[in-house]
Chains A and B, each alone.
Chain A
């Protein structure tokens, strides 16, 4: 699929208008997963705007977002970067054979402390 199609799809599923961003970086300032990510929330916004999707879609950063929505809550311009991260991730996992988490992988990840809801959420987030 073309890059332009990916970009349009991401903008549509996220409902985000990256042009609203004024480059203040509050999303990255507030992000608890910042150090885990190769590309940070503010970079998602302008990389999608510029169409640098190959890098984003290949990056592990899309699985590091906790979906805590702190960036959505605090963005002064209402850009909602977390929705964009989620849309990029969806664009990846929706492609054939791109499930990030398969049902068969789950037993190995389980331990006593893991809430069941987390497993369900993870499966929803990382698979088709």
Chain B
């Protein structure tokens, strides 16, 4: 029989106003096994904890029930206090009589009755508690950053700064991500390349950082502190150790008409290419889909002109095995496809462009050298119409996204402002539903576009864009404030397309067993208090993979994710949660039901030899739980048809004892 102490907390008036705490402690005193029962104003205070510690010693308590707030709030506090008094911390149970009782009841009699019942349930559970000891696992002191955009770069730099090794895996031939394609950045209008490329170079030069560009994560195994990752380094057909990035091959390659993805298809590149001048690593890549030599064996011009002898047509994909303690996801975003938005004529006219394409059209390193020209005929546009919220804030209609993409209001204000500044002869219209500019100096920036640059902001949406035979775009829109329909003859229409997570994110989330929301954004462990951690231990989130955000926010989050990863890598050993599942091998029938429901990949099956009662041996397939990976969610215990799976600290018998105590008649 356990010797149980009951401690009822008033929580000031939070509990005491709706629950008669003295009645609760008096009633629970008569429960079997209870040798001590008291109530106190603030159990979590130092003097409250001392009452607990003294009682444990004086009454030789083997179990403790605290009737107080949610275990999320103070379970750790009371476990620590009990441990200090020599009691196993897992012999402490919390009866939540605040969130689940006093806060939701008005009637004191009913509240008191419920508090007593909740206390009884906790006492019934403590009777079956057994001391648990937390295990330890080692930590590999290296981090993996998946995605080499500004988010991944910042996270990697911060982790490297703390003295840990970091690997960046980037699927494109260069790191830098979307930010390399931008012209200027709001709200200060500094040039994106000027602030980003030095960071890219820092990554390349930092001895703690290894860049795996043109590579993808192929497989993730293991658990927090001990991830085993396979990285596929895709064949570039160029020896990166020899290539000097001189670019001679990219000038001589005879295949000239390959759509240039860096300029979003607005111009062409060769089959062997360097995405842009400041690429890191600055080495050439041969596009196997278009290279004549790789397709038909007839050409070899690049190999002839390469003075470094770096071209290697026989190169194969390489698989690299690495171990990591922490993984940071920074997979970023892409603009949504606009082919379903027929009303905006995106597929019909070259002069209807997305905002990201517009960035390239105004970028000094873009296809027009920074002069804004109509893509269709290369003339100077006079009337430009910007349309906001294209695909954002849509009901689930199969075309758009339900969320606000967050960055469009600001970059559209930037585009409109820059066009008016550079080309004062233009008329610029921005059609908006709401202008959302919360952020430091953001609203001032938008007001400058209106007040100083004379951009016409019109409340209302564009209904349709009709290309006319003479090349003009007929824009039909509504001015809701003037209550009139507008017909504008435009030269260019720029669509602020919604952003969505990179399509590779879903597959990656499956490999990492990291959870995602319905929009394929990674979910954070807590939306307010743990915003950069995935619920899966050891996985951290950086940048737009977690939700739409602009560059300043992305960089803040990237540094936050780095801080969390550093906190993990700085530990030599990890204390595991001892409340993990275990399988009774004699009851397990090897059905795999638990393995299928386990969200953390903690359960594996193995064939094991058993000595049977008749002294023969038999090989049986049984489940085995890796306690370092198990998060104690209990899904397997529910799924197991034979009752072989049980959760330490929350065993089936403990839960049933609680239910019985609640259902028992007074």
Contacts and interface: CB of A to CB of B under 8 A. Distances in A.
Interface of A: 20, 22-31, 34-35, 40, 42-43, 70, 74, 76-78
B385 to A, nearest CB: 12
15 contacts: A22-B433, A23-B433, A23-B480, A24-B461, A26-B462, A28-B463, A28-B478, A28-B480, A29-B460, A29-B485, A30-B343, A30-B463, A43-B483, A76-B461, A77-B395
A74 B463 contact: yes
Contact of B485 (A24, A31, A74): A31
Contacts of A29: 460-464, 476-478, 485
Given A22-B433, A35-B485, A40-B483, A28 B460 contact: yes
B478 A76 contact: no
B157 to A, nearest CB: 40
Given A25-B459, A29-B463, A30-B463, A74 B343 contact: yes
Nearest to B396: A78
Contacts of B394: 76-77
Contacts of A20: 395
A94 to B, nearest CB: 29
Nearest to A37: B485
Contact of B389 (A42, A74, A76): A76
B393 interface: yes
Given A22-B393, A25-B480, A28-B485, A76 B460 contact: no
Interface string B457-475: 0011111100000000000
Interface in B386-437: 389, 393-395, 397, 400, 433
Contacts of A30: 343, 463-464, 476
Interface residues of B, number: 20
B485 A78 contact: no
B663 to A, nearest CB: 42
Interface of B: 343, 389, 393-395, 397, 400, 433, 459-464, 476-478, 480, 483, 485
Nearest to B432: A24
Nearest to A39: B483
Given A42-B478, A42-B480, 9 more contacts: A22-B393, A23-B433, A24-B389, A24-B460, A25-B461, A28-B463, A29-B462, A29-B464, A74-B464
Nearest to A77: B395
A16 to B, nearest CB: 13
A30 B478 CA distance: 8
Contact of A31 (B395, B459, B463, B480): B463
Contacts of A28: 460, 463, 478, 480, 485
A20 to B, nearest CB: 7
B433 A34 contact: no
A76 B397 contact: yes
A13 B396 CA distance: 23
B485 A34 contact: yes
A76 B393 contact: yes
The winner among A30, A76, A78 for most chain B CB atoms within 10 A is A76
A77 B459 CA distance: 17
Contacts of B476: 29-30
Contacts of B483: 40, 43
Contacts of A42: 478, 480
Contact of B400 (A22, A23, A76): A76
The winner among A25, A40, A42, A78 for most chain B CB atoms within 10 A is A25
A26 B395 contact: no
Contacts of A25: 433, 459-461, 478, 480
Contacts of B460: 24-25, 28-29
The winner among A30, A35, A40, A78 for most chain B CB atoms within 10 A is A30
A110 B518 CA distance: 55
B460 to A, nearest CB: 4
A42 B461 CA distance: 11
B397 A78 contact: yes
B339 to A, nearest CB: 15
Contacts of A40: 478, 483, 485
The winner among B389, B395, B397, B478 for most chain A CB atoms within 10 A is B478
A22 B459 CA distance: 12
A78 B120 CA distance: 52
A30 B460 CA distance: 11
A55 to B, nearest CB: 14
Contacts of A74: 343, 463-464
Contacts of A23: 433, 480
Nearest to A41: B478
A20 B395 CA distance: 9
A25 B397 CA distance: 18
Nearest to A73: B343
Nearest to B399: A76
The winner among B393, B397, B460, B461 for most chain A CB atoms within 10 A is B461
A77 B397 CA distance: 8
A114 B397 CA distance: 36
A27 B343 CA distance: 12
Contacts of B393: 22, 76-77
A70 B463 contact: yes
A42 B485 CA distance: 12
Contacts of A35: 485
A26 to B, nearest CB: 4
